[in-house]
Each structure stands twice: as structure tokens, then as C-alpha cells.
Amino acid sequence: MHSWRRLLAVREQSRLLTGIIGIFIVGYLALAFELFYHGMKFVAKFPGLGAVLTERMLYMLFAFLFALLLLSNLVIAYTNLFRNRETAFLLTLPVSNSTIFQWKFIESMILASWAFLFLIAPLLAAFGLVRGVPWHFYPLTVLLIGLFIILPGVFGAALAIAIGRHLDRKNFQILILLLAVTLLAFVAFWWKANPVDDALLGQRTLEALDKLLAKTRFTMFPFLPSYWLSASVLQWAEGITRDAVFFAAVLLSNTLFFGGIAFTRFGNIFYDTASAVQSRAGGMFKMNFLRTVKTDSTKPGFLENVFEKIPWLAPDTRALAVKDLRMFWRDTTQWGQSVMFFGLLGAYIINLRNFTHQLTSPFWIHAVAFLNLGACAFNLASLTTRFVFPQFSLEGRRLWIVGMSPMGLERIVKTKYWLASTLSLVITLGLVTLSCYLLKMSWTEVVFFGAVVTVMTFALNGLSVGLGVLYPNVQETNPNKIVSGFGGTLCFVLSTVYIIASLALLMVGGGGFHRHAGLAFASIAGFGLLSFVVGWLPMKWGLKHLKNFEA
């Protein structure tokens, strides 16, 4: 009831916000449905192979989504259970530990799963329309998905409790980084051990397809929850109700079993873990391989030593940059999601090597390059909205103190802008350059796409920082709630529109390589003007707003 009242209050306070959110949701669902529908129709036309390819894609989709949901639930549950002020406050009230855990578990599961539901809704609707399924396929699918998302929520919460019980925040971060490095080493070893089979590309279609499908059989492991969901959906779509009911019953029984354990037994374990987490001393110890050593907190840290190597930075600017980086590092949710997003994008780009041999046409090479650019830009837009937009508001009520300092609010905002732009540019420029290299594009084309993503990076960061100043929420300390307001929603919508318009302009002009030089120049000039307006105007209005700002 409380959440429903908050939704009604938002609608009454800002009808513009409600309208923008509604238009964006409807537009996304319609566009995604059209793309999925035409894509599945195209795959279904393959004689004798369409059904097999569609089914295998569903198995792969739900298997990878299960892994992503597990990681997302782990990160969000850890932060929501042990690094949340509301949770710490609830533990002081005369409320049972089980009730607090149950509420926070449901909240974490919803936060981790809503994007998953948003993604697969148009896909399953398109699948049902292509297959011509009966009406009862849709309510059954909704029920199965509701059962499915509970399992990664339970496992993620269990892992979060186990990690919180035995590792403090700093050691948890070091563990995550070690796992990431190990994963990268494994990928590098696999790359060398499994080179691209050029002979496979020259074989007949059926032989090549059989070998490619063999590499995805791990998604059909019968003990995976994703397999139970996929098998039940596919069997029900084919009219084999007996097998569909069997796999649905398997999914239901496991969900009831593990969900029951979580709701009845995790409460006391959560309380003991929360007590252990809150009782740990912070900032005085660090992990040094397998032993813990005491450190002198008065000595300059690693970040201070790095920024001291940059001579043109003023001491106050250097201190603010170090502070912001440390705040970002201490929030496991933020950098954990960033690593996950860019890690997935990097894995996709690295796998371009597996089909670049077939890209002999310049048209398809440029098409893939623009798709990579769009994926990187949309990823960057989501991260700038999620992390850069709330940076000004996170300074909180102490903004008036900072504003009275010699540095001033204007330099603070500019420092945040340049810091966010520089860090994000290193990642985006590296990924786009790597994708162009794997596509074996010329250095002229590499420079072109690198310049485009550079301009996009500065424009998106300028939009996020400027709107963050224009629509602050200094009363809130949770960045998720800051982003969910009108300013955050507007920032993401404008970022999306800017990326789509930029890609359309560049593609109409032939990506700068059109045989009509006038059209190519006009498209590049239009992209530059659009980027300047999107990145410069919000920053200008934001800096002007600072003159009359009152925290």
C-alpha cells in the first residue's frame, strides 16, 4: 500500500514525468516487439532448422539471464542488507529479524529482476505470435517467469550473507577483482587454445551448424533452472502439455523449497551477519595476500600518489577527484554494475573474431561497426545516468559549506564532469577501437569511430552533470532513488534520443565514407552540432543555476 501511494503521489505531483515514462515504456515495448517478431520470423523461414535455432536461442537466453540475475542479486542483496541505512534503522525497531529480511529480500529481488522482465516480455510475446500459440500460453509463461526469478534471488541472498559473514567490504572488493582477473586469464587461455577454425567456415551449412550448436549444449543441462523454464515454455507452445506440466512442477517445487528456506531460516543468519559486518573496524586493515597487516592511515594512499603525478591539477581539484573515486569504490553496487556492463560488452566485442572471416562486404563491416558503436553508447548512457547524474546531489546538505569554500560550486561541478568524462572515455574508446581492429578496418575508419565515441562520451557526461545540477535531490543519500526522480528519467530519455539521432545522422551520411562528400560532411556537421547542444546547453544552464542555488 505504501508503494502504491508513492506511485499515486508521483502522478499527482508531475504529470509530465508520468507522461514521459509512459511514452518511453510504450515506445520501447513496441520497438522491441517489432525487432523480435521480424527476427524470429526470419529464423523460422530456414527449412528444417528454424524451430531448432529458435529453441536453442531460448535455452541460451534464459541460461545467460539466470547467470546475470544471480550476479545482480548478489551485488544488490549485499548492499541492501549490509550497506543500507534503512536496514540498520529497521534492526533497531521491535520487528522480527525474519520480517526485516523478507522485506529486504523482496526489495532486492525486484530491483535486480525488473530489467529482466522488461526485456523478455516483448520477446515472449513475439515468440508466441510467430508460433501461433493458444491464449493460455501467456498466463502460464507469466507464472513460470515469476517462479523463475525467485531462485536466483534466493541463491544471490545466500551468497551475499555468506560473503558478508566472512569478508569485510574491502576484502570482498579484492575478492571480486581477483575473480575478474582470473576470468580474464581464463578467457585469454581459451582464446589461444581455441583459435578460429577457418575450415569450419568452408564446410557445408549443416555440418557447420551442427558443430556450432554442439558448443551451446551446456545450456541444456537438466539441473539448471533455466532449462526447466525453457523446456516448459517450448513444450507448452508445441501442445505437449504433459511434459510442460512436468517441468513447471519441477520449477515450482524447487522454488517453494528454496524460497521456504529463505523466508523461514535466513532471518537469524542475516541478523548475525549484519552484527558481524557492523562490528568490524573500517579502513585500518587491508589484505596482503593471505595475511592481514596494519596500515598507517596518515600516509598518502595509492590514489593520492597517482594524482600527484599530474602537475597541472590544483591541490583542491586533486583532493575532490580522489574523494569521488573513493566514494565510488566504496559503493560495491556502483562499480560492480559498471564492471558487469562493460565486461559483457567487452566479451561480445572480443568474440567478433569468430565471424569476421565472413564479413567480406564493406557494407556489413560498417553495419557491425555501427552496431558496436550503438551498443557502447547505450551502455555509456545507462551508466552516466545511473552514476554521473546523482554525483552533485550526493554531496547532500553540506553543499552550502562546499559552496563557501575557495573552490566554489562551479569548479566542483566542472571537476566532476572532467573526471567522469575522462574515466568513461578510457573504457569506451578502448572498446570501440578494439572492435574496429577485430573488424580489420583501416586506420582512417578507426580514427573516425574513435572520434565519434569521444564526442558522444563528452556529450553524454555533460548532459548528465548539467541535469544533475538542474534537478538535484540533496535530501536523498541513495543514488538509486535520486535517479528514479524526474531529472534522472529525463536524462535517460534525452540520452537515448540523442544516441538514436546521432546514429541515424552518421549512417545516412555513410559513416563519413559516403561517395557523396557533401552528404557525408553534412551528416558529420549535424552530429557535431547535435552533440554540442546536448552536452553544452545543460552544463551552461546548470552552472548558471548554481549562482542562485540554495541547499
Helix pair angle (15-44, 50-82), 10° resolution = 150
Q: How many CA atoms lie within 13 A of 317 on its CB side?
A: 16
Whole-Å CA distances, 375 to 318, 341, 346, 470: 32, 11, 11, 28
Residue-level pLDDT at 456:
94
Torsion angle of C-alpha atoms 264, 267, 272, 278, degrees rounded to 10: 160
Here the cell at position 193 is 587454445
Residue-level pLDDT at 115:
74
Residue-level pLDDT at 254:
95
Burial 28-56 (b: 16+ CB within 10 A, else e): eeeebbeebbeebeebeeeeeebeeebbb
At 486, is the secondary structure helix, strand, or coil?
Answer: helix
What does the alpha-carbon distance between residue 136 and residue 139 come to, in Å, rounded to a whole number?
Answer: 6
Q: How many CA atoms lie within 13 A of 505 on its CB side?
A: 18
What does the alpha-carbon distance between residue 185 and residue 515 come to, in Å, rounded to a whole number?
Answer: 43
Here the cell at position 391 is 554525483
CB 91 within 8 A of CB 82: no
Q: Which residue has the cell 559516403?
A: 514
**Residues ≥6 apart with Cβ < 8 Å to 257:** none
End-to-end distance of the chain based on CA atoms, in angstroms?
A: 32
At 141, is the secondary structure helix, strand, or coil?
Answer: helix
For residue 314, count other CB atoms closer than 10 A to its CB: 11
CA 201 to chain centre: 33
Q: What are residue 509's phi and psi, to 5 degrees?
A: -80, 5
Q: What are residue 294's phi and psi, to 5 degrees?
A: -85, 140
CB 502 within 8 A of CB 530: yes
What does the alpha-carbon distance between residue 199 and residue 202 come to, in Å, rounded to a whole number?
Answer: 5
Residue-level pLDDT at 105:
92
What does the alpha-carbon distance between residue 178 and residue 4 come to, in Å, rounded to a whole number?
Answer: 42
Nearest one of 147, 169, 321 to 248, comparing CA atoms: 147
Sign of the C-alpha dihedral, residues 230, 231, 232, 237? positive
At 83, is the secondary structure helix, strand, or coil?
Answer: coil
Dmax over CA atoms of the chain, in Å, equals 74
Q: Which residue has the cell 569506451?
A: 428
Q: Which residue has the cell 552552472?
A: 543
**Residues ≥6 apart with Cβ < 8 Å to 122:** 29, 32, 33, 36
pLDDT in tens, the chain (551 residues): 445 555 555 555 566 667 777 787 788 788 888 888 888 888 877 776 777 788 888 888 898 889 888 888 887 888 788 877 788 888 888 889 899 999 999 988 988 887 778 778 888 888 988 888 888 888 999 999 999 999 999 999 998 898 887 766 666 667 666 776 676 666 656 555 555 454 544 445 556 566 666 777 778 888 999 999 999 999 998 888 898 999 999 999 999 999 999 999 998 899 888 888 877 654 433 433 334 444 455 566 667 777 777 777 777 777 777 777 777 766 665 666 666 666 666 666 666 655 555 556 676 777 778 888 888 888 888 888 888 888 888 776 666 666 666 677 788 888 889 888 988 898 888 888 887 877 777 888 888 889 999 999 999 999 999 998 888 877 766 676 677 677 887 888 889 889 989 988 888 876 555 556 677 788 888 999 999 999 999 998 888 888 776 55
For residue 89, count other CB atoms closer than 10 A to its CB: 9
CB 155 within 8 A of CB 67: no
Sequential DSSP letters for 277-313: HHHS--SSEEEETTEEEE--TTS--HHHHHHTT-TTS
What does the alpha-carbon distance between residue 394 and residue 62 come to, in Å, rounded to a whole number?
Answer: 36
